[in-house]
Structures are given as structure tokens and as C-alpha cells.
Structure 1
Amino acid sequence: MNNNSTKFLLLTTLMSGLLISVSSNSWLGAWIGLEINLLSFIPLMSNNKNTYTTEASMKYFIVQALASSTLLFLIISKSMIEELYMMSNNNLMSMIINTPLLLKSGAAPFHWWFPSIMEGLSWSNCFILMTIQKIAPLMLISYSLVMSTFMWIIILMSIIVGSIGGLNQISIRKILTYSSINHMGWMLASMNIGENMWIMYFLIYSLLTLTIIMIVESHQISFINQTFLMSSEMSIIKFLMFTTLLSLGGLPPFLGFLPKWIIIQQMIINEMNFIISLMVIMSLMTLYYYMRICYSSFMILCIEPKWNIQFYHNKVMPTMMILSSISMLGLVLCTLMINIF
């Protein structure tokens, strides 16, 4: 995909499919939007020079086609039984209709396709898959969500799988994948509070993910041991990357802690003490494997090769500085604004 005009066209149709799905007033229209979104992303994934991207695009197509066909079958079945395109808001129907949407968004236990596909993609496509491709399924889930036992099991499984799955990984892509699964659990839990809450969580998560991906892409990093050689002469880059990683894990002084803080408060008010305790303990495990990267990279002394200093620094450095500053100071600024105004 070297043709920029083709990329622009596919990205436009990808976003238009997302908007059709989100703004549709019928389930059939939402399904059409999801299909447009899928068929726009498949050509963006594939690359003739890399066999891994071809394999990843095929896997992604098969999984998404399975979820889409299941969703369409459920829509048609339901419309034949009840009023056309209407969905009664009860526990059983919410569980049935949300299952293919959870498969599309990669929540546990429907996450089995997510790590292997992420491993075969470029960093820009990884960002699209972890953020933009989740908007439509999550929005549709929020429309028909009933917080039943099934949904709480999905939330807890996502948080547990996302925490434990990343412990033995050495690939940055897989670590971010399991982190994304963990955050999916928190986003689904935040839907219990309100629509604005999960949107705020999603925006902060997308900002932090974008910052990390910009840094690792500019230094061509794919594995933990490559961070040892990353810009030892420019320690500021390491500092920005690892503070953003800790923010993504939800360490309190940083912006990533803000949405989790609100969710914890609301769930304690609703007397969900056991569930939120389990969620916090599991999130501490994600912080462990982030801090493992930080400690090893800062404490192990390595000699950096000359060719590691690349031309990316001049282009990306100002943007990385701004995004990382937002990550580090966002919680402080939000607190000041609330107290002043």
C-alpha cells in the first residue's frame, strides 16, 4: 500500500463506515456500516512485501466475517420474531446481540485472534486496530447494554486475561495487545456509569496508545530487548516512552489514572466492592510488566550503535513531547481546573 491516494480513499471509507454504523437507527444499517469499515481496513493491512501482513489480513477477515454473519443472522431472526429492526432491552437479547460485537472488539474470551493478528501488522495499522476499529462495536454495545451477570463475567475475564497474558511476553506489540484487552474490561465497566464516561476513557486510552506507537515506530522497536539500545544519548525519549507506558497502566500521578479513579469511585458508591477490588489487583499486574520494561531499560548499560540515531527525531520529537506532557500533567491540570472553576 504505497499509493497515498489509495490509502486516503480507504481511510475515508473506513471512517464513513464507522459513522454509518454509529449513527444508524436500525441494526441492519449498523451491520452495513461495520461491513464497509471491515472491507476498507483489509486492503490497508495487506502488503505485498511482507507475508506476515497477508496472513494477518486473512485471519482478520475470517474472524470479522464470522462475527458479521452471526450478527446478521441474529438481526434477521429477531426481526422475524418481533417488530422489524427493533430489539427488546432484556438480559437474554442483550447477551445474544452483544456476543458478535464483543468478538469484533476483541474482549475476552473472544480475544484469541487479537495477539496473532497484531504481531503481523505495521505500527500504524496496530493503532487503527486497537483504537478506531473498536469505536463502532463499543458504541453498538453501549446502545443495547444491560449489566447482567454475563457482562460482568466478560469484564472480569477481559481484565484477568489482559493482566496475566502480558506477563511472559517479550514483544511490544503483544504487550500492547493484552493491555488493550485489559482496557476493554474497564471500558465495558465504565458503560455502567454512563456513555460520556466510556468515551472519555476511550479518548485517553487512544491518546496514550498513539504516543507510545509514535515513539516505538520512530525507533523501529518491536521487542523489549531493543529498548536497551534506544537513544541512550537522548534519555528524554526513554523518559517520555516509559512515563506514557506507566500512564497507560494507570499509575496515579499520570493522566491514565483519571478514568480509572472515577470508575473506582462510582463502583464503590454502587457497593460493588469485590468486583472493583479484583479489577484494581489485576491492573496492578499490568503495571508490573510495564515497570519491568522501564527498570531493565534504564538500569542496564548498553552501547548504542551509531546508526540508531535516525531522521525521525526531528519530525516526531515535538509531537511526542506535547503528547507525553499531556500524559504526565493531564491529571494535575484537570484537578486544578476543577478546583479553580
Structure 2
Amino acid sequence: MNSLAMMLIYLTLVLGPAITMTSNNMFIMWVGLEMNLMSIIPLMISKYHPRSTEAASKYFITQSTASMILLLAIIINFEQSNTWYMHPQMNYLTSTLMMIALAIKLGLAPFHSWLPEVTQGINISTGLILLTWQKLAPMSMLYQMHECLNQYIMITLALISIMVGAWSGLNQTQTRKIMAYSSISHMGWMVCICMYNPNLTILNLMIYIIMTIPLFMIIKTHSMTSINSMSLMWNKTPMFLPLMSTILLSTGGLPPLTGFMPKWLIINELLKNNCTAVATTITMISLINLFFYTRIIYSTSLTVFPTNNNSKTTQFIDKKKHNIITPTLAILSTMTLPITSLMLY
């Protein structure tokens, strides 16, 4: 692709969420979401392949449907209140339509079926953008309308998302699908607390992005598309084994790693708001997530898959693949639990 075209695409990709996050006009927010949608489609089909074309088509149809529902909600709100801005007295129909549209854009269950297929059909770099950067604009809208959210709808979406992300991830062997279902589960944790403490939602999103980026960078560097290909990492780059294992455990929420911080704070906030049953349920389901992360670690670190003798004795280490970003983000994604109080206040 032409370098000028790529520069314009990435510029639009950055400006779209920036416009949505900095505006309080709902129509301008919608424009930012559309810029975000139209800019990632060329990245998905930059390498001409039937899988990438199918993934781009699924993504475009799903996101366009969500955008139409969101625009309908914005127009209804303007007709009833004669304003383009969000307000706590927003109509029930308007807020419900907006919640459904944002749930589709975030990939929350039961509107999640497009996310694993799209993530599997595109390359790893675009998959990282899809699971991290593309979440910022919809989450910023949820953050701004947290006073208008329906508690029962959001908790239902959160519980279904956490459950679907946990159970569906058990049956996967492809790394990109595993990361997609992990994203669905994490999104459930974020929207679960959005009505009570939206700042915790932003904190959870930041930590999720910090944990996801080094995982994708390791997967991309070593072309690990499945669990079987990950099992050969002990021979290629053995130093990355403890690093990746620790990040996976942190993503699963095992204390005393960083990933435990948002889960701990969310459970504490739910208990303060008399949501004991919800807190207990999501805590028990999160153990399933931790189980399939542990299964990946067992497959990659604790077992040696059958290989020929030459591959067992040779270490294929490429120094050009090493970078400073992965260790830095790995430290942030595993060792920041002691500064929890500092991050809160």
C-alpha cells in the first residue's frame, strides 16, 4: 500500500477515538466512531486473502449495524430533549439503544460472535489494534453516560460476557481466538462496575491494554498462531518462557500480579453496593479463565512436544527480534500491584 495512504489511514485511526473521547456532543462522538470504523477496514484487507476479506466484511456489517442503532438513539434523544448532549434524564429507550449499540461495538455477549472470527481472520498486528485501540472510543462513551446506564441490563451483559469468555476459551487452540475470548471476558468486568465507579472501568481498561500488548508482541515476534507452535518457544527463545507465563497469569488475575488489582477493586466496589451475588459469581467464573491460561503455560513450559534431535539441540535466537518495549510493558503488567493505593488516589 502507498505510504501516503497508510499515513492517512493511521492518522484517521488515531483521530477517530480522540474526537470521541474529547467531545460531549453525541453526534460528534458518532462521527469519531465512524472514522475509527472506516480507517481500520483497509488495515484488515492490506494483505489480500479470503480470510482477511471475510473478516473485514463481518466487521464492517456488524459495526455498521451498531452505528445505525446508535445514530437512531441520538436522533430520538434530540427529538425528545432538543439537545445533542448527554444528560441524566435521558429517555429509557434512548439509553437502552445506546447500550445495545456500544455492546455490539465492544463485542459483549450475546453480541460477541463476530469478535473471535474477525480476530482470527486478520494479521496479528491488526488484531492487537482491534482488541485494544478500538475499545477506547466505545468505552469513553460508556464512561460519559454512566449515570444513564440501566443497572440490570449492564450487569446481565457483564455476567454473560464473563461466562461466555471463560467457557468458550476452554475449547480454543488458536492464540488469536484465545485472546479474543479473553477480551470478551475482560470487557464484562469493565462494564460490570461502570455504573458504580466509572474510574475503575478506565483503570481496568488501561491495565488490560498494558497486559495485552506484550502478549501480542511475543506472539507476533515468534509467529505463534496456535498452542502447538507456542510449545516450541523453549527451544527458540527460552528466556521468553517465564516472561510470557507471568503475563498470562497476570491476565488471569492471579495475585500478587498486576492483573489481580482491577478484579480486587471491582469485587470490593460491588460488595460496597450490595451486589454480593454478582461479585461471587464473577469471581468463581474468573477461575475458568485462570485455568485455560494455566493450561497454555503447561503446554508451553512444562511439556516438551516431540521434535527431531537437531531442533532439540539448536537454539534459533534472532537478536534483531528483541526490543525494549516488551520487557518494559511486561514489568508494568506484572509488578504494579504494590502501587494500587497510589493509582487510586
Above 0.5 in TM-score?
A: yes
Deviation at 1:14, TM superposition (A): 1.1
User: What is the DSSP-based 3-state SS (H/G/I as helix, E as strand, rest coil) of the residue aligned with 1:104?
Assistant: helix
1:309 to 283, 305, 316: 316
User: What is the DSSP-based 3-state SS (H/G/I as helix, E as strand, rest coil) of the residue aligned with 2:55?
Assistant: helix
Match for residue 321 of structure 1? 327
User: What is the DSSP-based 3-state SS (H/G/I as helix, E as strand, rest coil) of the residue aligned with 1:232?
Assistant: helix
Deviations 1:225-257 (A, max 9, x none): 111111425322011111101111111111111
CA distance in 1, matches of 2:124, 2:218: 10
Match for residue 54 of structure 1? 53
User: What is the DSSP-based 3-state SS (H/G/I as helix, E as strand, rest coil) of the residue aligned with 2:108?
Assistant: coil
Deviation at 1:220, TM superposition (A): 0.3
Deviations 1:47-105 (A, max 9, x none): 24422112111111111111111211222233223313245335443222211111111
Match for residue 295 of structure 1? 298
Amino acid at match of 1:274: A
User: What is the DSSP-based 3-state SS (H/G/I as helix, E as strand, rest coil) of the residue aligned with 1:235?
Assistant: coil
Match for residue 70 of structure 1? 69
Match for residue 117 of structure 2? 116
Is 1:18 paired with 2:17?
yes
Deviations 1:110-133 (A, max 9, x none): 111111101111111111111111
Match for residue 331 of structure 1? 337
Amino acid at match of 1:309: F
Count of aligned positions: 336
Do the aligned partners of 1:95 and 1:151 also contact (CA within 8 Å) in 2? no
Deviation at 1:147, TM superposition (A): 4.2
CA distance in 1, matches of 2:329, 2:32: 31
Question: Do the aligned partners of residues 335 and 111 (structure 1) sit closer, same or farther apart at CA in structure 2, a change above 3 Å counting?
Answer: closer
Question: Do the aligned partners of residues 28 and 336 (structure 1) sit closer, same or farther apart at CA in structure 2, a change above 3 Å counting?
Answer: closer
Structure 1, unaligned stretches of length 5 or more? none
Amino acid at match of 1:208: M
Match for residue 217 of structure 1? 220
Extract structure 1 runs of 4+ deviating beyond 6 A: 305-308
User: What is the DSSP-based 3-state SS (H/G/I as helix, E as strand, rest coil) of the residue aligned with 1:329?
Assistant: coil
Match for residue 106 of structure 1? 107
Deviation at 1:199, TM superposition (A): 1.3
Structure 2, unaligned stretches of length 5 or more? none
Is 1:125 paired with 2:165?
no
User: What is the DSSP-based 3-state SS (H/G/I as helix, E as strand, rest coil) of the residue aligned with 1:252?
Assistant: coil
CA distance in 1, matches of 2:336, 2:108: 28
User: What is the DSSP-based 3-state SS (H/G/I as helix, E as strand, rest coil) of the residue aligned with 1:328?
Assistant: coil
The TM-score with structure 1 as length reference comes to 0.92
Task: Summarize the alignment of residues 30-179 of structure 1 with structure 2, pairs less than 5 Å apart.
Answer: 30-87=29-86, 88-89=89-90, 91-145=92-146, 146-179=149-182
Deviation at 1:306, TM superposition (A): 8.3
The TM-score with structure 2 as length reference comes to 0.91
